[in-house]
Amino acid sequence: MTTSLPLFLGSLLLLPLLAGLIPKVKAFLTGKKGPPLLIKYYTLIKLLAKGSVYSTSTTFVFRAAPVVVPAVYLTALLFLPLAGMPPVLSFSGDIILIFYLFALGRFFTICAALDTASPFEGMGTSREAFFSVLSEATVFMVLFLFCRLSSSLELAGFFTGSKAINLSRPEAGLLLLVVVAMFIVLLTENARVPVDDPATHLELTMIHEVMILDHSGPDLALLELGAWCKLYFYAVFVANILLPGQVSPAGLRIMAFLGSLLLIYAVIGVVESVTARYKMPMVPKFILTSFAFAFFAAILTLEWAR
């Protein structure tokens, strides 16, 4: 509690920096100069200073989304252990609360988009609803496996304490399968290439960006903040698995954690530079691959598989 609260608050301050890292990596790999590293801070300040335009089609649901969405992901971050430290809050069963809160956030994002009566936003919602069903199956498969490995039902039990799940465990081999599976979920849930292209400006091809097309000003800033928290949540989830065990001095452990976190953000940038967005019919197959990995990893823990 004492060490995790500063880490949590520090993370909040670093969120825009981490999000700004991906375009920088992309620019570097394609030989461009790219936007400044602090670009997301500038965007945030710009948006917060503005007013808003609301569509005459919309109702209170449209205005509720920018409140619910960041609240959902901030709550989730409170329960997430950072750098192997106990999280700010924790209780048995919090994993279910967190992933159902994510569904609540999705519910409001989708409804707010449909509230604008725009056909483009409708298109985005339809895809969002489809792909998240599939990635949810993977997530719960992974949670089930982690529950088996750590015999606990909270994120704190997964990533801290004596039964923490990371690469120092004897099951490191199958944990790599989980890392790949969760990375695919990360790309899907955060609308990254190859599922979605956050850089595109063609509404027909987008998923997440098109759903927030009509939000503006501070409302858009709050939604962006939620999106960064979400990306950070999944990145930390994977980074925690990648940690090489409980490194003893806390300083070194935080360094190792930051290292793997930066690695994940960099890999997202690399993936975006070397692959193109899949055609929509390919995406479900891509996501279901992650379920196959997670399921296979779970089966490997059974006694008869040893």
Residues in 273-302 that interact with other proteins by CB under 8 A: 280, 284, 295, 298, 302
Q: Does 199 bind other proteins (CB under 8 A)?
A: no
Among 193, 198, 272, residue whose Cα is nearest residue 228: 198
Q: Which of 35, 86, 217, 245 binds other proteins (CB under 8 A)?
A: 217
Residues in 76-105 that interact with other proteins by CB under 8 A: 78, 89, 91-94, 96-97, 100-101, 103-104
**Choices 56-64, 160-168, 169-177, 265-273; region in contact with other proteins by CB under 8 A:** 56-64
- How many positions of this chain bind other proteins (CB under 8 A)? 82
Angle at the Cα of 230 (from 209 to 115), degrees rounded to 5? 40
Identity at 42, one-letter amino acid code: Y
Query: Nearest approach, Cβ of 268 to other proteins (angstroms)?
Result: 24
Among 259, 231, 230, 234, residue whose Cα is nearest residue 83: 259
Query: How is residue 14 written in tokens?
Result: 């670093």
Q: Which of 41, 130, 278, 286 binds other proteins (CB under 8 A)?
A: 130
**Choices 23-31, 124-132, 167-175, 271-279; region in contact with other proteins by CB under 8 A:** 124-132
Q: Does 114 bind other proteins (CB under 8 A)?
A: yes
Q: Does 74 bind other proteins (CB under 8 A)?
A: yes
**Choices 35-43, 73-81, 168-176, 243-251; region in contact with other proteins by CB under 8 A:** 73-81
Among 65, 47, 53, 183, residue whose Cα is nearest residue 115: 65
Characterise 258 by phi-psi region: left (phi > 0), alpha (psi -120 to 50), beta (else). Answer: alpha
Q: What residues have CB less than 8 Å from 306, skipping those under 6 apart? A: none
Q: Does 72 bind other proteins (CB under 8 A)?
A: yes
Query: Nearest approach, Cβ of 67 to other proteins (angstroms)?
Result: 5
Characterise 117 by phi-psi region: left (phi > 0), alpha (psi -120 to 50), beta (else). Answer: left
Query: Nearest approach, Cβ of 261 to other proteins (angstroms)?
Result: 23
**Which residue number, 187 or 261, has a Cβ lying nearer to other proteins?**
187
Nearest-angstrom CA–CA distance, 32 and 270: 14
Q: Does 67 bind other proteins (CB under 8 A)?
A: yes
CA distances from 5 to 1, 82, 89, 214, 259 (A): 6, 10, 10, 35, 20
Q: Which of 14, 137, 172, 271 binds other proteins (CB under 8 A)?
A: 137
